Amino acid sequence: AATAALRGDGAGASAAAAGGGVTALQSQVQQALRVSDLEASEEVLRQQLAALQAELDRRESQVAFDHQMHPGLVELEHTTPMPTASFGPVKVPELEYEDFLLLVAIMLIMLIFAVPFMTPWNRFCETRRHKVMPVLAILNFSILAYTLDRLYMISFNTMFFGSVKAFEIFIGSTESLLTGCVALVGLFVAWRFKDRILAFIGIEHGALLVGDFRDWATCWSMKRFHAMEIYILKVEGLPSVKITGENNVFCEASLGYNMEMRTRVHNGAGHRCVFKESFQLNFDPWDTDSRLYISVKNQGLISEEISSVQIGAAKVRKLEEKPMQKGTLGWGATSGSSSARSDQSAWDPKRFTAFDMVPAGTIYLRFVSVAQEEESVSFFECCCGCLFGGSRRAQVTAVSDTALLTAQH
């Protein structure tokens, strides 16, 4: 019995050992199958990778060939599609659509805020604005909140930072605009007071240095000027500068680029003075900006202006007479001749025009064109004369000052 028991245990052990060997064999077979599958998959992946690498090399060679054949060709970048909104058959980007909705909401909010100030609601809201405006503010806030809630591409932060950026752009543009305006105003002020600025620097006649458009357009030619003689007969009704003494009167005239011309001083003339003096100035009849300024002054330690008058170029051109056939100078026009008391006299009061002065007084003036002499013409004056209407020819034969003096004797 003991022997049989021992034999039975040996058989069971052999059967158990045989079962364990089969299980190990099955696991080895499964592992081998897995390895073979992995190797097959790896081989497939290698083949696919080789195919992709070959396709990539082909495309790179194609791109290189295209760049070589077409140097200006630019390769387009890959883009991703954006969400769109449909309006029937038309599609627009979703972001633009939401920007439009937000803009409409903001305009509606502004309109609601403006309602209390519009007719006919202003009558009702005029005395109740402290109650109406808070209600409208809550309503507008609700509209804005609802609009932002319905928009999924625009948030409150996006709107806030967009508003900050727009405000920054507005401030920068306003600063640039104000800087430009200040520069323009500075240039205008400098141009408007250029004469005073140049006089302060020490330049006596700044207009000759700067000039105006007419001077630059004509290359600083003098062909647009002609000589004009101003006759001063007398002044009347002058106020007294000093209570204790009479006026020591003289006249001073200025016109455009001319130097100031002065008469001699008439000592003790008082309220009335007969000058019978003349001087010549260069006159541009079409310069509407310049004015003839004549002032009557009193000579002293500091010359004081008694009265003055300003005459425009159009008025002077209207009163200007033709050149005289016989030259006359000063008192010589009425001395030693019987014609001095006739209507042909240069100092005939009928030929003079009275001008009221400021603050008081009357001055009698006469304007006569002077016959021009032939003068040498520079190259620039010749060119400008050809470009701007030709040179101005003398209408009367030139008469020199020596001939005028000889004619009086």
Please spell the DSSP secondary structure of 309-338, one letter per residue.
EEEEHHHHHHHPBPPPSS---GGGGGSS-G
- Predicted confidence at residue 120, as pLDDT, reads 85
Burial class of residue 88, CB neighbours in 10 A (0-12, 13-18, 19+): exposed
Residue 235 binned pLDDT confidence (cut-offs 50, 70, 90): very high
What is the pLDDT at residue 14?
Answer: 52
**Greater confidence, 16 or 102?**
102
294-324 per-residue burial string, b: 16 or more CB within 10 A, e: under 16? bbbbbeeeeeeebbbbebebeebbeebeebb
Confidence of residue 337 (pLDDT cuts 50, 70, 90): very low
**pLDDT at residue number 276:** 92
Given a cut of 50, whether residue 396 has pLDDT beyond it is no
Over 50: is that where the pLDDT of 407 sits?
no
Q: Is 162 in contact with 151 (CB distance < 8 Å)?
A: no
pTM for this structure? 0.46
DSSP H or E segment with residue 357: none
Query: Above 80 in pLDDT, residue 13?
Result: no
Residue 398: which of 239, 150, 169, 226 has the closest Cα?
A: 226
Residue 90 pLDDT level (bands cut at 50, 70, 90): confident
State yes or no: pLDDT of 385 exceeds 50. Answer: no
- End-to-end CA, the chain: 192
* Mean pLDDT calculated for residue range 201-219: 67
168 falls in which pLDDT band (50, 70, 90)? very high
**What does each C-alpha distance from 311 to 152, 181, 207, 282 come to in angstroms?**
76, 35, 19, 15
Q: Model confidence at 20, in pLDDT bands (50, 70, 90)?
A: low
Within 10 angstroms of residue 277's Cβ, the number of other Cβ atoms is 19
Tokens read off for 280 = 């010549």
Write down the pLDDT at residue 183. Answer: 94
Evaluate if residue 72 carries a pLDDT over 70.
no
CA distance 297 to 303: 6
Q: Which residues contact 241 (CB under 8 A, 6 or more apart)?
A: 247, 298, 304, 306
The predicted pLDDT at position 255 comes to: 87
Phi, psi of 260 (to 5 degrees): -65, 130
Residue 331 vs residue 270, higher pLDDT: 270
- In a 13 Å sphere around the CA of 37, the CA atoms on its Cβ side amount to 6
Q: Which has the minimum average pLDDT: 53-62, 196-205, 256-265?
A: 196-205
In the chain, DSSP finds a helix count (H) and a strand count (E) of 11, 10
**Which residues 6+ apart lie within 8 Å of 367 measured at CB?**
228, 229, 230, 231, 316, 319, 320, 321
pLDDT of residue 95: 85
**How many C-alpha atoms does 81 have within 13 Å on its Cβ side?**
5
Q: In angstroms, rounded to a whole number, what is the distance separating the alpha carbons of residues 158 and 163?
A: 9
